[in-house]
Chains A and B, each alone.
Chain A
Amino acid sequence: MKEYQTITEISGPLVFAEVDEPIGYDEIVEIETPQGDTLRGQVLESSDGLVSIQVFEGTGGIDRNASVRFLGETMKMPVTEDLLGRVLDGSGNPIDGGPDIVPEERQDIVGAAINPYSREYPEEFIQTGVSAIDGMNTLVRGQKLPIFSGSGLPHNDLALQIARQATVPEEEEGGEEGSEFAVIFGAMGITAEEANEFMDDFERTGALERSVVFMNLADDPAVERTVTPRMALTTAEYLAFEKDYHVLVILTDMTNYCEALREIGAAREEVPGRRGYPGYMYTDLAQLYERAGRIEGRDGSVTQIPILTMPGDDDTHPIPDLTGYITEGQIMMDRDLNSQGIEPPINVSPSLSRLMDDGIGEGLTRGDHADVKDQLFAAYAEGKDLRDLVNIVGREALSETDNKYLDFADRFEEEFVQQGNDTNRTIDETLEIGWDLLSMLPKEQLNRIDEDLIEEHYREDEGESETVEATAD
């Protein structure tokens, strides 16, 4: 392997060097500084005689005398089942003091696209125990469902609650020895405090044994963040599609990942896209998020829950916007609900699970699920619309039915969405709360629900007791 001392330029996270042999695009590079530190990087552009290299750890300490070695291969992740229970840094090196990792395989971290013809459509209901998700925006195995949050909101608590409580009731009932469950946690630029929150919970619940943790913290090199999720997803695919695990991948915080992309783009003097993010960010994010799913003939699955904090709580910002265009829905955290003490503060209206429709119903969840969900959405929307009006005209100016919708919206937040981080509700419990609330409304208002189902589930006394309460107010 040839060594070069030919660095011509150092700029931000980039190093340019002259070479006299052909170097492959995306190839891995080692740079040794005069102080004896070894830094790793990747070829971003390769032309005859000149390569540009993106250095993961940052270019600090590199000067013209540093030596550059090209390893002749693209970035690989050493994978083995023994990774379970291990804590690694953002580039995949163990940081838990444990033994060296003896890989079974070394896999390219870029990962080839799954052939759409080879996929299996995800439709296995995952019960998270969270009503706002299970009832209204159901998660299924192999889905990519991000949490859209804002700084200071309890998205980590929600992610942890899901990781703790997620089960597939069908399998449990059937007593089937389903495939095993594993968690991959990929942290990008989060604070040590946040990281501890996750680690403590993993340790407390014993989840660590079936987890692989990748840690790139806030004070770790930013450029490394472009590698961390790829390491995590390569491990996930290996465990899912070669070792039959059902893998849940939590990636946080995607916003930091995107900032790193922007930084590299700026250093390369690329023409920036919206708000300075690279024009290829959609493609780049898709290459991460699409690494979720099921494959025909394989038992395992990769389910992704990426977390991102929306700058300024703005869901039209390029990071949530491009994410929402790629993922199969989103769970929206809401600042107002949070200040009202609703836990988890999920706003169900702008939330969405695109894979819900095939994952619910008779034999999956319950026959009334789809109708109940539709009616809850519609009634909650109606109640929220009336809130604006009631501020202007007062409750007295509204009809009796309108008042019921207002009460409905309040109780929906306080009883259905609100549940606490330690409450684990079955889908039956969730739907029954739904019926309790819907029974506040007159029967003929339930136009999204099949009439037989209304006969079966509607609580005849509920509506009246509510009216009494309302007049007593």
Chain B
Amino acid sequence: MSQAQDTETVQEDGIINSVSGPVVTAADLDARMNDVVYVGDEGLMGEVIEIEGNLTTIQVYEETSGVGPGEPVENTGEPLSVDLGPGMLDSIYDGVQRPLDVLEQKMGSAFLDRGVDAPGIDLEKTWEFTPEVSEGETVEPGDVVGTVPETVTIEHKVMVPPDYEGGEVVSVEEGSFSVEETVVELSTGEEISMHQEWPVREARPAGEKMTPTDPLVTGQRIQDGLFPLAKGGTAAIPGPFGSGKTVTQQQLAKWSDADIVVYIGCGERGNEMTEVIEDFPELPDPQTGNPLMARTCLIANTSNMPVAARESCIYTGITIAEYYRDMGYDVALMADSTSRWAEAMREISSRLEEMPGEEGYPAYLAASLSEFYERAGLFQLFNGGVGSISVVGAVSPPGGDFSEPVTQNTLRIVKTFWALDSDLAEKRHFPSINWNESYSLYSQQLDPWYRENVAQDYPEVRQWAVDVLDEEAELQEIVQLVGKDALPEDQQLTLEVSRYIREAWLQQDAFNDTDTYCEPEKTYRMLQAIKTFNDEAFNALEAGVPVEEISNIDAAPQLNRMGVAEEWNEFIDDLENSIEEQIRELY
């Protein structure tokens, strides 16, 4: 969180009037909506969320036990903002961008204490600044004035802040500087440092949104193969507890081909964040081989941390994502879970005694959700570049019932829907994404990319798989009534093929070192191998070979081992040959 230093704007103190959990009212406070205030003798951080007459309502980002009426409230006069600059990658923040490692140090404890603040980036640390402009050049907002090696993977671009006027460069520095030192000065008197601040509830400006044409390659077969997400697109993963929301999001954070990943643990488990903190520095980024942490920014406001900071963590995350987008990067943002965010809104709203909407959620739920997802997209940037933010939101519907307001309002906005299914999870079919219910509205616009980069006939092979799965769904209804043996032979064969599509292709074990990541080429070839089996098998069937004999060829079960095969190209070559040979031997 950014620390207000502007002493001129500090206002007269107000006085606490009432305290109810995270909601505090203060009298005589001179404040604007969304101003950050320090509440009580301990100076707990809060934000103004309602002003009525002389009473100001504040949501407090820290526990309020023991805080009482009469204590002072101090206004910083600034809206809730994040610190932007080098040092955000490889960091872990709470919901108001306080670095959790710094908090541990300052508090001297493993438990989160109150009233301790810390800037979002290290203000003392120095960085090597290399200018990209020279004196006399004219720069405008968004233009890159220099670069800083932020991590082994990412070159940080220092830009003219969007709220500057811009002008002629009158002086440029080069070398080691702290983020607050001026590195470029403009004729307008504006000074540019490596540090910017931005209010989190306001989208950072960018140029026009464009239609995405590249997929966010995830290395996950069901996503890349059936329901792709575009770079700059939006996706939702709703599902009951234990169906795979978090593992899916973590898989995307690990393996997708984004430049930058912002991962928000919003109101979820502490250990899940710990797992990421422990794993990511060890795991290699599939693009560069560097540690994954070098491209990752974590925001952890777990379920037991203050609920108001849970409400703001989504905004903190998306603002950081926008900042890297402005540098021209492809950013992927995961939010686990947007339902906890919505519940935080509901909790605050009910303490304000606002008129509740559907299921107690505030009437502005739909608006807040769409504002958030609207901040995703593929953008033309002011500096001439292009950057994108892809947003993936987990949704946790009560009782797993998708008809509830958060799921429904989300589905109205997002274009990719990965529907998790508890029946599949119970059978340990992972990822438990239901292939009949899920969809991606990006498929068609991404087809050219797949044709060019993976295989000319990729869309056709995908369509074949979809058709087989559809047919299986119909046949299963009959099987439930009469048993499989009562079906004609060709339909029995279809069931056999679709079983391989499900078990050998759609299933993917996130915990297997090889299977956890699957290149699009491998995804394609695996499906092709199953199609080879299909085509050979139907030829044999037509030639009069009984279905039982065809299914029993030795090579067929090997299809299930493609996912874990390391030398997959050879493995699949051999397997396709064996399948051909063994089936052709039957007639």
Given known A-B contacts A321-B241, A397-B483, A25 and B271 have beta carbons under 8 A apart: no
Q: Which residues of A contact B275 (CB under 8 A)?
A: 121, 358
Given known A-B contacts A22-B71, A295-B110, A447-B561, A271 and B350 have beta carbons under 8 A apart: yes
In the complex, are the beta carbons of A114 and B65 less than 8 A apart?
A: no
In the complex, are the beta carbons of B111 and A397 less than 8 A apart?
A: no
In the complex, are the beta carbons of A290 and B503 less than 8 A apart?
A: no
Interface string of A97-120 (1 = CB under 8 A from B): 000000000001011111111111
In the complex, are the beta carbons of B110 and A296 less than 8 A apart?
A: yes
Q: Which of A185-193, A215-223, A370-378, A425-433 contacts B (4 or more CB under 8 A)?
A: A370-378
Q: Which residues of B contact A444 (CB under 8 A)?
A: 554, 557
In the complex, are the beta carbons of A114 and B63 less than 8 A apart?
A: no
The CA of A296 and the CA of B274, in the complex, are separated in Å by: 11
Interface string of B469-500 (1 = CB under 8 A from A): 00000000001111111100000000000000
Q: Which residues of A contact B422 (CB under 8 A)?
A: 350
Q: Which single residue of chain A is at the shortest CB-CB distance from B246?
A: A354
Q: Is A65 an interface residue (CB 8 A)?
A: no
Q: Which single residue of chain B is at the shortest CB-CB distance from A402?
A: B484
Q: Is A324 an interface residue (CB 8 A)?
A: yes
Interface centre among B64, B65, B70, B486 (most CB of A within 10 A): B65
Q: Is B100 an interface residue (CB 8 A)?
A: yes
Q: Is B67 an interface residue (CB 8 A)?
A: yes
Q: Which single residue of chain A is at the shortest CB-CB distance from B27?
A: A48
Q: Is B426 an interface residue (CB 8 A)?
A: yes
Q: Which residues of A contact B269 (CB under 8 A)?
A: 290, 326, 328
Q: Is A39 an interface residue (CB 8 A)?
A: no
The CA of A296 and the CA of B275, in the complex, are separated in Å by: 13
Q: Which residues of A contact B347 (CB under 8 A)?
A: 279-280, 283
Q: Which residues of A contact B398 (CB under 8 A)?
A: 274, 316, 318, 321-322
- Cross-interface CB contact of B302 among A113, A355, A357, cutoff 8 Å: A113
Q: Which single residue of chain A is at the shortest CB-CB distance from B25?
A: A47
In the complex, are the beta carbons of B360 and A273 less than 8 A apart?
A: yes
In the complex, are the beta carbons of A114 and B112 less than 8 A apart?
A: yes
Determine how close the nearest CB of chain B comes to the CB of A148; give it in whole angstroms.
11
Determine how close the nearest CB of chain B comes to the CB of A185; give it in whole angstroms.
22
- Cross-interface CB contact of A47 among B69, B300, B503, cutoff 8 Å: B69
In the complex, are the beta carbons of A24 and B67 less than 8 A apart?
A: yes
- Cross-interface CB contact of A117 among B277, B343, B481, cutoff 8 Å: B277
Q: Which single residue of chain B is at the shortest CB-CB distance from A268?
A: B20
In the complex, are the beta carbons of B271 and A48 less than 8 A apart?
A: no
Q: Which residues of A contact B303 (CB under 8 A)?
A: 282-283, 286, 290, 326
Q: Is B21 an interface residue (CB 8 A)?
A: yes
Determine how close the nearest CB of chain B comes to the CB of A337; give it in whole angstroms.
15
Q: Is B428 an interface residue (CB 8 A)?
A: yes
Dominant SS among interface residues on chain B: mixed
In the complex, are the beta carbons of B271 and A328 less than 8 A apart?
A: yes
The CA of A67 and the CA of B285, in the complex, are separated in Å by: 66
The CA of A370 and the CA of B359, in the complex, are separated in Å by: 41
Q: Is A364 an interface residue (CB 8 A)?
A: no
Determine how close the nearest CB of chain A comes to the CB of B365; give it in whole angstroms.
13
Given known A-B contacts A114-B270, A270-B350, A279-B350, A381 and B63 have beta carbons under 8 A apart: no
Q: Is B278 an interface residue (CB 8 A)?
A: yes
Q: Which single residue of chain B is at the shortest CB-CB distance from A388?
A: B480
Interface string of A387-426 (1 = CB under 8 A from B): 0110011000111000000000000000000000000000
In the complex, are the beta carbons of A271 and B356 less than 8 A apart?
A: yes
Given known A-B contacts A393-B482, A447-B560, A113 and B305 have beta carbons under 8 A apart: yes
Q: Which single residue of chain B is at the shortest CB-CB distance from A394?
A: B483
In the complex, are the beta carbons of A274 and B359 less than 8 A apart?
A: yes
Q: Which residues of A contact B561 (CB under 8 A)?
A: 447, 451
In the complex, are the beta carbons of B340 and A282 less than 8 A apart?
A: yes
Q: Which residues of B contact A328 (CB under 8 A)?
A: 269, 271
Given known A-B contacts A114-B270, A282-B303, A290-B270, A316 and B401 have beta carbons under 8 A apart: yes
Q: Is B261 an interface residue (CB 8 A)?
A: no
Q: Which residues of B contact A397 (CB under 8 A)?
A: 483, 485-486
The CA of A111 and the CA of B428, in the complex, are separated in Å by: 36
Q: Which residues of B contact A73 (CB under 8 A)?
A: 66
In the complex, are the beta carbons of A399 and B484 less than 8 A apart?
A: yes
Determine how close the nearest CB of chain B comes to the CB of A35; give it in whole angstroms.
30
Interface string of B512-549 (1 = CB under 8 A from A): 00000000000000000000000000000000000000
10 more A-B residue pairs beyond the given contacts A25-B66, A48-B69, with a C-beta to C-beta distance below 8 A: A25-B65, A113-B304, A116-B300, A274-B398, A282-B340, A283-B267, A325-B241, A357-B511, A378-B427, A393-B486
Interface residues of A (CB under 8 A from B): 21-27, 44-48, 73-74, 108, 110-122, 142, 241, 270-274, 279-280, 282-283, 286-287, 290-291, 293, 295-298, 316-318, 321-322, 324-326, 328-330, 349-350, 352, 354-355, 357-358, 370, 374, 377-378, 381, 388-389, 392-393, 397-399, 444-445, 447, 450-451
10 residue pairs of the A-B complex, CB under 8 angstroms, read A21-B70, A25-B65, A26-B64, A108-B65, A115-B111, A116-B277, A117-B274, A121-B274, A318-B399, A370-B511
